[in-house]
Structure 1
Amino acid sequence: MSDSSHTEAPSDDADIVVVGAGIIGTSCALALARQGLRVTVIDAQEPGHGASYGNAGHLATEQVSPIADLSILKQIPAMLINPMGPLRLDWKYLPRALPWFTRLLLNLRSAPFQRTVAGLRTLNEASLGAWERTLASMGCGELLQARGSLLVYERRETHTPLETLRKRWLQQGVDADLWSAHALQDAAPALSDHLLGGIYFPKTGHFIDPHLVVCRLAEAAKACGVRFVQQQVRHGRLNEKGAVLITSQGPLNARRVLIACGAHSAALVSQLTGISVPLDTERGYHLMLPHEHGRLPFPVTSLERKFIMTPMQGGLRLAGTVEFAGLHRPPRMDRAWQLHRLSQGLFRQDLDARDATTWMGLRPSLPDSLPVIDQVCDGRVLLAFGHQHLGLTQAAITAEWIAQLAVRPMASIASQALPDLSAYRLDRFRKPWL
């Protein structure tokens, strides 16, 4: 993709230009700067104003399975018909979504399924420690509360499927403790006494304000010399010196580029590498309840109702639902309000929804449920995108790996400091239907 026929762009003094100022891009920028590299971050928005702003805040290390299973086939009719269901597929988007769903289902075969689980485990098992190191280095460890999380159930017929899930988690190396109804009441007395029990995950946690985490990362990065530029990247191409990014303010030369712009990464990846990635968008919603404090000590997920409630500094955040409608369809905020209706009956007293605020964000998802974490094009292009629901969880460890890749020659990727990163390589998408 080398092209020397264009007028050369004004030079940027950065060693690496990071495209994307979300949790992944900002974490990577800080880690790269701490390796002594000069870093510029470019994004159309201020740090943390995309999907990183309104996520559930759950450090979801227990989520080591693909984002869907074969039951999704049975759910497709309901996804098309029920606008308030936990999974929704916009019928206008169906033709574009079907190839992605086909690849998703093919990746549920035994061998690719096991690759996904192994890849997610490698990331998630290292995530909590990476976050603790990162936050401690910035002096703001209080932003992460490592108190565990809870999955509750309320129907007797759900107990057997719950036990099956627990056995699978234990086989996958996830600590998952079975709790009785009494244990629920002892830990979270505000929950309704009709709940029958649940599974407690001790090695998880939550952030008291996900947006504040990105802001603190950005402040630490700026203190290390990182420059943040608020521009839109419209196009990119490689040349013999690195890459040229065409932005809303004109061209920008870059020696190396890190693509970390989440759901918006696919076009730039294709332009710079020639590989088309099957990246799609799971649109997630939240409802923030500012008058709700002290109800829960840690995140609580309802197995039957399929949403999560996370205690935060600014109140209680209800999050969940998955909507496939692409990047550009307007949000349906009635789906956010549906989360309040889903909460009714889970507490002894219904939640206070006064002054509640709604939000919708774009989760970048690949059909094998694994992100791309790689260095390609002779080191000129680094990649960190496609973390689906787990961007917040995996950001700190992704940043550590990217920083190590950036300062080592390609031949040393298999060094002791890094795990085997083959599961996250970009070239897995050179093969059809993977």
Structure 2
Amino acid sequence: MSDPDIIVVGAGIIGVACALQLARQGRQVLVVDPQEPGMGASYGNAGHLATEQVFPIADLSILKRLPGMLLDPMGPLRLDWKYLPHALPWFVRLLLNLRPANYQRTVAGIRALNEGSLGAWQRLLHSIGRSELLREDGSLLVFERADSREALNALQQRMQQQQVPVAFWSGDAIRGAVPQLSDNIQGGLFFPGTGHFLDPYHVVCELVRAARASGVQFLKRQVLDGRVDAQGISLSTDQEPLSARQVLIACGAHSAKLTAALTGKKVPLDTERGYHLMLPNEHHRLPFAVTSLERKFIMTPMTDGLRLAGTVEFAGLDRPANMERAWQLHRLSKGLFREDLSAEGATPWMGFRPSLPDSLPVIDRVCDGKVLLAFGHQHLGLTQAAVTAEWVGELARGGQAPSLAPYRLDRF
């Protein structure tokens, strides 16, 4: 193995996209992860290019929902009561960030990343000759109850205020485009500036292939600790130590410990545990991603079937997965289609989505440029990976990515 001049810690979609970008800039790049590339949260995300999601998952109504979050193990937003003492400081910070000025800064920060996401993905996939992995055919948010129309209208207005392309579709228009959906669908919002990936894990694999061809090396190893010295950085691992001139921390929900070791900054990073259920016999139900307003989950058509996803659970990194939450997604789908979805051969999954209390990632260069940071993208990691890689490439060059102030480490 040749000596790297930059080590990327994390082989998810963010780390791999950044590694490819850095290699193309002439850097000697080593990617380190205890798992094979793409086997963390990047393996099982919803596959939706969610450029329309410019608002945080939480608003002030979370206070009213807190009892249900604690008591309903199958609810769309779940807080494990055993995890509450650990999560409480994080939730306090989340609530503080819902104050009007803070909330608007969050929305502006998410929007700035999302507005650049589709173009960045187009450039990245074209550069590796795999543009067909992304379907740019929009997505749909549907509602079933007449009393939901007011909430949908309010959401449409808020989206338009943020310059998010959106159009109202009647129930008949929806069934004309998606005839498998039931007559219960009253209408919905169509987002033309979105899309979906046919297989998120395959996207990572194709980026890994391109990265290897550009000289990137991959090492399956656990990083335990690190320090900054005069020469650069040194990392201790579960085997021999590693060193380089620079490091990029891009290991998602596992980034806090190494960030603290290298920078001295304690980051309030938690995890939104996300679940999916893959239905292998449902290949032709939907032409694009469809989300239910009332049922609060998304259905994305993929090469291997139909993926149901979208629940959020706060229970930390150590508690075992509650796969009943994944199977609950199939129960939620009942009544959305003219004929119920088949769960034969279905496979459940759970992954950790890294989340900070202001719903913005950390993208920064610190420690005299020796430490680069790209983590905390919550449920928008896939959406924002390509644009993040472009920004990290600029940071590694010593330049300035566009308007990085909302994402800097020193905001904490």
Q: TM-score, normalised on structure 1?
A: 0.94
Tell me, in whole angstroms, the C-alpha distance in 2 between the residues paired with 1:148 and 1:232.
Answer: 39
**What does 1:143-158 correspond to in 2, within 5 Å?**
143-158=133-148
Tell me, in whole angstroms, the C-alpha distance in 1 between the residues paired with 2:137 and 2:315.
Answer: 35
Structure 2 partner of 1:425 = 408
Question: What secondary structure, in the 3-state scheme, does the structure 1 residue paired with 2:116 have?
Answer: helix
Tell me, in whole angstroms, the C-alpha distance in 1 between the residues paired with 2:44 and 2:101.
Answer: 34
Tell me, in whole angstroms, the C-alpha distance in 1 between the residues paired with 2:338 and 2:55.
Answer: 32
Displacement of 1:67: 2.2
Tell me, in whole angstroms, the C-alpha distance in 2 between the residues paired with 1:254 and 1:72.
Answer: 44
Pick which of 213-222 and 65-74 moved more.
65-74
Displacement of 1:12: 6.3
Displacement of 1:381: 0.1
**What does 1:348-363 correspond to in 2, within 5 Å?**
348-363=338-353
Q: Deviation per CA, 1:9-59: give whole Å up to 9, x if none.
A: xx9611110000000000000000000111000000010000000000000
> Is the counterpart of residue 304 in structure 1 residue 287 in structure 2?
no
Tell me, in whole angstroms, the C-alpha distance in 1 between the residues paired with 2:10 and 2:304.
Answer: 26
Tell me, in whole angstroms, the C-alpha distance in 2 between the residues paired with 1:235 and 1:359.
Answer: 29
Structure 1 partner of 2:397 = 407
Structure 2 partner of 1:26 = 16
The count of aligned residue pairs is 412
Displacement of 1:79: 0.9
| Residue 217 of structure 1, aligned match among 175, 191, 207 | 207
Structure 2 partner of 1:69 = 59
| Residue 187 of structure 2, aligned match among 197, 220, 224 | 197
Displacement of 1:324: 0.4
Tell me, in whole angstroms, the C-alpha distance in 2 between the residues paired with 1:209 and 1:334.
Answer: 24
Q: Deviation per CA, 1:344-394: give whole Å up to 9, x if none.
A: 000000001100000000000001100011000000000000000000000
Q: Deviation per CA, 1:103-141: give whole Å up to 9, x if none.
A: 111101111111111111110000000000000000000
Question: What secondary structure, in the 3-state scheme, does the structure 2 residue paired with 1:17 have?
Answer: strand
Identity percentage of aligned residues? 69
**What does 1:115-130 correspond to in 2, within 5 Å?**
115-130=105-120
| Residue 318 of structure 2, aligned match among 296, 317, 328 | 328
Question: Where do 4+ consecutive residues of structure 1 move more than 6 Å?
Answer: none
Counterpart of 2:277, as a letter, is L
> Is the counterpart of residue 178 in structure 1 residue 168 in structure 2?
yes
Counterpart of 2:261, as a letter, is Q
Q: Deviation per CA, 1:186-214: give whole Å up to 9, x if none.
A: 11000001110000000000000000000
| Residue 280 of structure 2, aligned match among 278, 282, 290 | 290
Tell me, in whole angstroms, the C-alpha distance in 2 between the residues paired with 1:249 and 1:397.
Answer: 33
Structure 1 partner of 2:230 = 240
Question: What secondary structure, in the 3-state scheme, does the structure 1 residue paired with 2:41 have?
Answer: coil
Structure 2 unaligned residues grouped into runs of 5+: none
Tell me, in whole angstroms, the C-alpha distance in 2 between the residues paired with 1:56 and 1:306.
Answer: 13
Counterpart of 1:112, as a letter, is N
| Residue 80 of structure 2, aligned match among 90, 95, 100 | 90
Tell me, in whole angstroms, the C-alpha distance in 2 between the residues paired with 1:191 and 1:315.
Answer: 17
Counterpart of 1:94, as a letter, is L
Question: What secondary structure, in the 3-state scheme, does the structure 2 residue paired with 1:53 have?
Answer: helix
Structure 1 partner of 2:328 = 338
Structure 1 partner of 2:91 = 101
Q: Deviation per CA, 1:370-425: give whole Å up to 9, x if none.
A: 001100000000000000000000000000010111012xxx42xxxx31111110
Two-structure CA RMSD over aligned residues (Å): 0.8
Counterpart of 1:426, as a letter, is L
Question: What secondary structure, in the 3-state scheme, does the structure 2 residue paired with 1:52 have?
Answer: helix
Structure 2 partner of 1:206 = 196
> Is the counterpart of residue 231 in structure 1 residue 214 in structure 2?
no
Structure 1 partner of 2:25 = 35
Displacement of 1:254: 1.7
Q: Is the 8 A contact 1:12 1:254 kept in 2?
A: no
Tell me, in whole angstroms, the C-alpha distance in 2 between the residues paired with 1:50 and 1:124.
Answer: 22
Question: What secondary structure, in the 3-state scheme, does the structure 2 residue paired with 1:317 have?
Answer: strand
Counterpart of 1:287, as a letter, is L
**What does 1:276-287 correspond to in 2, within 5 Å?**
276-287=266-277
Q: Deviation per CA, 1:226-264: give whole Å up to 9, x if none.
A: 000000001111111111111111211121100000000
Q: TM-score, normalised on structure 2?
A: 0.99
Counterpart of 1:309, as a letter, is M
Structure 2 partner of 1:390 = 380
Question: What secondary structure, in the 3-state scheme, does the structure 2 residue paired with 1:250 have?
Answer: coil
Structure 2 partner of 1:15 = 5
Tell me, in whole angstroms, the C-alpha distance in 1 between the residues paired with 2:244 and 2:258.
Answer: 14
Question: What secondary structure, in the 3-state scheme, does the structure 1 residue paired with 2:153 have?
Answer: helix
Tell me, in whole angstroms, the C-alpha distance in 1 between the residues paired with 2:119 and 2:307.
Answer: 25
Counterpart of 2:246, as a letter, is R
Tell me, in whole angstroms, the C-alpha distance in 1 between the residues paired with 2:10 and 2:143.
Answer: 38
Tell me, in whole angstroms, the C-alpha distance in 1 between the residues paired with 2:231 and 2:164.
Answer: 46
